[in-house]
Structure formats: C-alpha cells, structure tokens
Structure 1
Amino acid sequence: MTHDQLLFDVKDGVATLTLNRPEQKNALDLPMRDGLDDAVRRIRQDRDIRAVILRGAGGDFCSGGDVRGMSPRSAEDGRNRIDDLHPFVSALIDLDRPVIAAVDGVAYGAGFSLALTADFVIATPRARFCLPFIKVGLVPDCGAFYTLPRVIGLSRSKDLVFTGREIGADEAQRIGAVFEIHSPDALYQRAEQIAQSFSGASSIAFGLSKRALNMSLSSDLRTLLEMESAAQGIACTTQAHQDAVQRFKEKQPARFQWVAG
C-alpha cells in the first residue's frame, strides 16, 4: 500500500509506516494524514501484523504540521483540522500491538507528539525534539496533552510546552522520552529487532497490559485491581499461556525473548 506522502510496507508481520516528504522534513499535510489514517485502520484489522514501526524518510522524522496550510478562517475550521488528526492518533495510542518510533533528525511539534504515541522511542544522537507551539501562538496537538505527562511527568512537560525549547537525544533519554540511542546506520535495524522480538509474545497479554497501563494514571486502585483480575482471567485461558507453561515444564526457552540493544 502506497500513498505519495505515506509509505506502508508489511514484512514478516511488521508494518513500517514511513513519512515521505523529505524535502519538507516530512511535515504533516492532509494527504499524509489520510495515509496514516488508512494505514492504522488496516493494521487494526490485520491480526497478522504483530508490530508497527514509525519512521521518516530522508534523515528526519517529522518537522510537525505543514505551516503553509495553517490558515483557518474560524475557530471551527481550526478545531476541525485538529479533530481530523484524532482518529489515527488515538488508534495508535490504543493499538494492542507494539509501536516503535525510530527518530532521526527533527521531531518537532506534531512530529514529537506522533513519536510519543509509540511504546518505544529510539533515536539517533542527531535527533532533536521540540514542542514549539507557543512560539506560533498554538497549543500542543496530536495527543501530546495525554502522552507527554505520562511519559516524562507534569513538571518536565510544563518545561517543554511553556518554553518551546529544543532538546537533544541525550536529554530526551534522560527524562524518559527516548528509550535507546543508536547510530543512524543501526537505528532502523534496531527498530526491526525490537518489532521482531514480539513475534513470540502473546498478543493478547500485550494488548491487555497496554490498555491497563494507558488507564493507570486516571484510574483508582479498585478499578485497576478489577481490571487486573479480568485481564488475567482472559490471559490464562489463551493458547499462548498454555504453550508457555508446557515449555517451562519441558525446560524449553520461552518463545518471547527480549534482545537488548
């Protein structure tokens, strides 16, 4: 499946979504948004896809929204423009499979927000992250009000949102926004390695765990304990769990093996 601005490739159970406007540092425009929406819909429907990689073409991840297209005629126009982003953003955040963002170069504005929808953000030393919305009189979008405080905490979120300052890969890793740092030559190979490592994991257990974690900061103890019980009740009846128990009894290695970077 190919859109001019969004490339979608599936290989060995891993879907790779490539933002493909390198001459504009992969700024999000309407065709790219449509491509992302179509791609995420397909991923949700295709259970053979076990993991997703987000990346950008040409040495950058995403420079944010296409400023040239930001001329709403009214508050309603501005709201509708952002509302159009929400289906694929929420679908990525809630996706019951691992999402890996491989960030090289700039991840600015909506690009930073898009990276934060991933479960794992890996980056190169030359990656740069910024939420410059305040500089243009706007507020963060693409779900950043939800993801950013959950990833780095409220105080650090206020720092990045209110100052609009740029941070490098080292600081992003220090505050928890980046999982690992790899050389540009190794970045996408590592993203594929992470994605493939989950081919042996229980997709049901992963999905249930991700849902509970996404709800953890907005739920009370009683709710989460109930969710834990219900999820474990489902997970323990799966073939993946039964197979894992049998492999343990037979002293065979578990199918899921995390490979450290």
Structure 2
Amino acid sequence: MNNPPVLTHVQDGIGTITLNRPEARNALSKDMRQGIAAAVVQMRDDESVQAVIITGAGGAFCSGGDVIQMVQSNESGLPWRERIRALHQWFPELVNLQKPVIAAVDGPAFGAGFSIALAADFILASKRAQFCAVFGRIGLIPDLGAMQLLPRIVGQQRAKELVFTARTLGAAEARELGIVYEIHEDGPALQTAAQALATRFKVASTPAIGMAKTIMNQAFELDARAMSELEAYAQTMCRGSEYHQRAVQRFRDKQPLLFDWDRPAK
C-alpha cells in the first residue's frame, strides 16, 4: 500500500501538513494537490489548531510540478487551463488561512513548491534550502500565485529578475531578499525551530491574528479608505472578544500579559 502523498497531524494546538513523496522530492502529483486542498480545509475548520506548519519529507520541501506526469498527460488547450484554474480553488485558502502559517523549507522549494512556501506567513529555511522560480527553464511562466506573491516580498524589479532568469537562490540570499525569516540547521533542528515558533502563537488571539492577516493580505489591492473600513470592523469584533476582556483585566490587575512576544514563556 502506498503512503499518502500528504500527511496531517494535530497536537497541542499545532497543525502540521507534510508533503510526503520523498522519492519524487515531493513533486506535486494530482493526488498531492488534492491532499493539500483537503489538509488546508482540515486546518481551517479545526478550532483547536492555532498555528500551522507546512513542510516536506525526506530532505526536500517541494520540487514543483511533477514533470513526468505532465509529459505523460495528454491534456492541452482548455483542459490544461482548467487544470491550472483548479489549483486556485485551494491555493487562496492556504494564502488566507486565518491562522499563522509557517513553512519549514529543507532542501529545494522549486516552481510550485516555491509558491507554496511564499503562501506562508513565515519561511524558516535550513542551510541547504534552495528556492527557484524554475518555470522558465522549460518555457513556462510561474503559476500557483507566484507572480502575485513574489513581487510583494522582493519588489517588482527583483521578482522579474528571479522569474526571467529562473536562477536558484540559496538560503542566505533568500533571507537577504526578505523571503526567508530565519535560517536553521538542516533536518530535525529546522523542524524544532518551526515547532517553537508555532508554539509561541498558542497564547495569542487566533481570531485577532486571522483578521489582521486577512486585512493585510488586501493591502496591495484596496485603497486607504477601504482598508480603514475593514480595520474599524475588525477592531470592533476584537474588542468584543472574550480574549480581549481577559487580557485587559490581567493588565488592570498587574498580572503578566496573556501574550507577550518579548517575554516568552519558559
């Protein structure tokens, strides 16, 4: 029996999505795409999940689309267009998941794998991690949202350079460009760091983070007035939350804050 192409695990408020085709460097097969879609919905709907880690098995994050399956497929024209459009049924759910999402990238994040990493709020990379908008090497353009997400992080000119050249970025350069949040040792050390970062959000207000994320994800599309209206609505919702009331009461009672990033729990 084959192993499932996507594994999910939830423990102590942390959900983990693992791309699980190590023999293919976690290339995106049809089954894997469907598995990611289901995993994202699972993490979205599970109220116990307060942060999500997405990672890959076997020393690779995701090498991109499964080129072998692409060659073997007879799809072209409109059927191929529908296949690409189908990706955008689940990918926005990942980008806009109203919980902190951490990509733990060990090894290659190429093509669509690069896009999946960019969908996260924080990318933690191993020293051997590599990133590449590889599409141009086989005469294609980036898909799975890369042409929207990448310019937001690195700017339009640098994004064009990375797409046009299809060159590989190491972890250090990716951090310099603002793509990578932190660099850690390979393997277990990276996973430990991802767990530690996710755990710190367990005492935060997940609804507040979710609303802030949703609004900031619209910052490049909406004007200032529309953003202000969203801000007013979200702040009103947060102010009426039980979390806010408890946090304010603790402040008034001079007790430690519920969530204080500068003073992590020991």
TM-score (norm 1): 0.95
Per the alignment, residue 82 of structure 2 pairs with 80
Q: What is the aligned partner in structure 2 of residue 194 from structure 1?
A: 197
The residue type equivalent to 2:45 in the other structure is Q
Partner of 2:180: 178
Partner of 1:27: 27
How far apart, CA to CA, are the structure 1 residues paired with 2:27 and 2:137? 17
Select 1:162's aligned residue among 158, 164, 174: 164
Matched residue of 2:31: which SS? helix
Offset from partner CA, 1:162-210 (integer Å, 9 cap, x none)? 1100010001000110000011232111111111111111111101100
**1:39-118 correspondence runs (5 A):** 39-70=39-70, 71-118=73-120
2:241 matched to 1:235? no
Distance 2:34 2:169 in 1: 29
Which deviations, in whole Å up to 9, do the C-alpha atoms of 1:46-95 show, x marking residues without a partner? 11111110000011100000001114532212212212221221101111
Distance in 2 of aligned mates of 1:197 and 1:129: 27
Equivalent of 1:256, from 230, 254, 259?
A: 259
Match of 2:218 in 1: 215
- Give yes or no for contact 1:97–1:206 (8 Å, CA) kept in 2: yes
**Residue identity matched to 2:177:** I
Structure 1 equivalent of residue 208 of structure 2: 205
Q: Give the distance between the partners of 1:169 and 1:121, measured in 2 at CA.
A: 10
- How far apart are 1:212 and its partner, in Å? 0.9
Runs (5+) with no aligned partner, structure 1: none
CA–CA separation in structure 2 for the residues paired with 1:3 and 1:89 = 23
2:147 to 138, 145, 148: 145
Structure 2 unpaired stretches of 5+: none
The count of corresponding residues between Structure 1 and Structure 2 is 259
Instruction: Tell me how far apart the structure 1 counterparts of residues 14 and 3 of structure 2 sit (CA, whole Å).
Output: 18
Q: Name the CA distance, whole Å, in 1 between partners of 2:89 and 2:47.
A: 19
Percentage of pairs with the same residue: 49
Q: Deviations over 1:5-37 (max 9, x none)?
A: 111111111111111111111101011111111
Shift of 1:3: 6.2
TM-score by length of 2: 0.94
1:134 is aligned to 2:161? no
Query: Letter of the aligned partner of 1:225 in structure 2?
Result: S
